[in-house]
Copies of this chain bind each other. A is one copy, B any other.
Amino acid sequence: MRILLVEDDATLADAVRTHVTRHNHAVDLAEDKESALACLAGVDYALVLLDLRLPDGSGLDILKHIRLKKQMIPVIVLTAHDQVSDRIAGLNAGADDYLVKPFDLDELEARIHAVSRRYGASQTPMVELASFKVYPSEHRIEGKTGERLSLSAREWAVLECLLARRNSIVSKSQIEEALYAFGAEIESNTVEVYVSRLRRKLGKEIVETVRGIGYRVAE
């Protein structure tokens, strides 16, 4: 699912982008009104995340523009916590939901999910992985006989990252990025450790090592 993120604060934009990417969505970033409108003209987005406070004019114009053209795109507005009037203006102009900064990234994902479902988009129901059934939206994974496995947060993140780029090789640094979205670098073999833990729980054949390059999940 392709998402347009309109946000001028680079730090926030980056955090949102990595997190949302990890949840299987493609993200285009527009930093101002002009490029946002350009993106909207050229691409069919499934959802728009919209900061109302932009350097070159109110994001409200963008929202109005979308509604004017009767594009059936769900829009979630991002506002600073003290901009109550923005929030109301946004909802009046046809936003589908809003989030107050600073917001929790999981919360964001939940809203994206809720809103796009309201629009009747397709839910990711299930992915097969070897003999497992993976339900990304529900954080759930079942074995052959339907028994539930329990993965820790990090383990799950690694698995999702691998599944997101299925049948291509994922480098360690990509996984690292997925794990530690924000700043916080890591200087040990954490990724290896988590791959190891995944293998212990799901079976050796689930992740293939590509020496010197990265990992790839089973077909």
Which residues of A are in contact with B by a Cβ distance under 8 Å?
Answer: 34-35, 37-39, 41-42, 87-89, 91-92, 94-98, 104, 106-107, 110, 137-140, 150, 152-153, 167-169, 171, 173-174, 210-213
Copies in the complex: 2
C-alpha spacing A96/B43, complex, angstroms: 8
From A138, which residue of chain B is reached at the shortest CB distance? B168
Give the residues in chain B near A37, CB-CB below 8 Å: 91-92
From A76, which residue of chain B is reached at the shortest CB distance? B42
B95 touches A41 (CB 8 A): yes
Task: Give the residue of B42, B91, B173 whose beta carbon is less than 8 angstroms from that of A41.
Answer: B91
Task: Give the residue of B95, B104, B106, B211 whose beta carbon is less than 8 angstroms from that of A42.
Answer: B95
Task: Give the residue of B96, B140, B153 whose beta carbon is less than 8 angstroms from that of A211.
Answer: B153
